[in-house]
Structure 1
Amino acid sequence: MLGKKMEIDPTHIRPIKTPLVGFIGDTIKAEGSIMLPLTLGESPRSRTKMINFTLVKKSSAYNMILGRPSLYTFIILPFVYHSGVKFALQDGTAGQVWGD
C-alpha cells in the first residue's frame, strides 16, 4: 500500500492521471498526490508550510525532490555547491538547512 511506511491515510491521497516526464522524455506513472506539512530548519529558526507531494513507486537516491512551487512557497535560495538552502523566516531573517 502506498504511504504505508509513513502511516498515510489512503483517503487523503488524490489520484493523478498525468504521468511524470523525466529530462530525457521517459515517463513514470504517479500514484497520487497528498498535501503534507513540511518543516525546514530547527526551532526556533524553522518554518512550516503545507506542500503538495506527488507520490511514485520507484527506487530513488532521493527521499523527495522539492520543485519550483515548493521553493517559491518557502522563498528558498539554494546553494548547490554547499548542499544547502537559505529560506525566509516570518520575522524577516533567514533560516538555513545544509546537507551531508
Structure 2
Amino acid sequence: MDIPIMFEESDVVEGHHDGLVISLPVGNCMIKKILVDNGSSANIIMLDTLKHMNIDEKNIINNSTILVGFSGETKKTSGEITLANFAKGINLQVKFLMINKLSSNNMILGRPWIHEMKSITSTYHQVIKFPTRWGIQEIRRDPKEAKNVTRSPLKQLQ
C-alpha cells in the first residue's frame, strides 16, 4: 500500500536557516547533533564520537577513502564501521566512514541512509518523514542540540 508523504503548513518552523539536526539511537548510545545532509554521498561519524561510544576497535575496518567536499577539498577517512541504527521502528545496519576531525556535529547521515530509510527530508519543515508498516513516521529536529555545540555529544543507553 502506497501512502503519500505530505508536509503541512503547520509543520513549518518559522524564521530559521538551520540544517536538519536530529538525535537517534546508534549502537548503544543516543547520539545527539546528527546532521541529515542529502548533499552527502556518505554516512560519516567523527572519530571522537566513536571513542565516546566505547565501541570495540576490532569492529573498525581499516579501509581509507578519499572524500571530496563541495569546494573540491579532500579529506582522508580513517576507517569504516557498521553500527545499528534505530529510527521509529526501523532497524538498520548503517555503514559509517570515520573522520578524525573536530566538528560541531557528531555524525552526518547522507544519501545512503536517507535512501535506505526511503525518507523525505525537509530542512524548511525541519522534519524527516518515512514509510513504515505502521504508517508514516517522522523524526523532528532537535532544536536545542542544533544550537548547542558545547554539551556532551551522547548519552549511554541503559
Does the TM-score normalized on the shorter chain lie above 0.5? yes
Look up the equivalent residue of 1:67 and give its one-letter code. G
Higher relative contact order (CA 8 A, sep 6+): 2
- 2:61 aligns with one of 14, 19, 27: 14
Identity among equivalent pairs (%): 33
Alignment partners' CA distance in 1, 2:91 and 2:125? 23
Q: Please name the residue that 1:97 is paired with.
A: 139
Look up the equivalent residue of 2:137 and give its one-letter code. G
Alignment partners' CA distance in 1, 2:59 and 2:134? 33
Q: TM-score, normalised by structure 1?
A: 0.84
Gaps of 5+ in 1: none
Is 1:70 the counterpart of 2:113? The answer is yes
Give the helix-richer structure, 1 or 2.
2
Aligned residues: 94
Shift of 1:92: 5.4
Alignment partners' CA distance in 2, 1:83 and 1:59? 24
Q: TM-score, normalised by structure 2?
A: 0.55
- Secondary structure in 2 matching 1:34: strand
Is 1:40 the counterpart of 2:87? The answer is yes
Q: Please name the residue that 2:8 is paired with.
A: none
Q: Please name the residue that 2:101 is paired with.
A: 58
Alignment partners' CA distance in 1, 2:68 and 2:104? 17
Q: Please name the residue that 1:23 is paired with.
A: 70
Gaps of 5+ in 2: 1-46, 144-158
Shift of 1:16: 2.2
Superimposed CA distance per residue, residues 40-64 of structure 1 (whole angstroms, 9 cap, x where no aligned partner): 13xxxx2111110111111112221
Q: Please name the residue that 2:128 is paired with.
A: 85
- Secondary structure in 1 matching 2:108: coil
Alignment partners' CA distance in 2, 1:61 and 1:49? 25
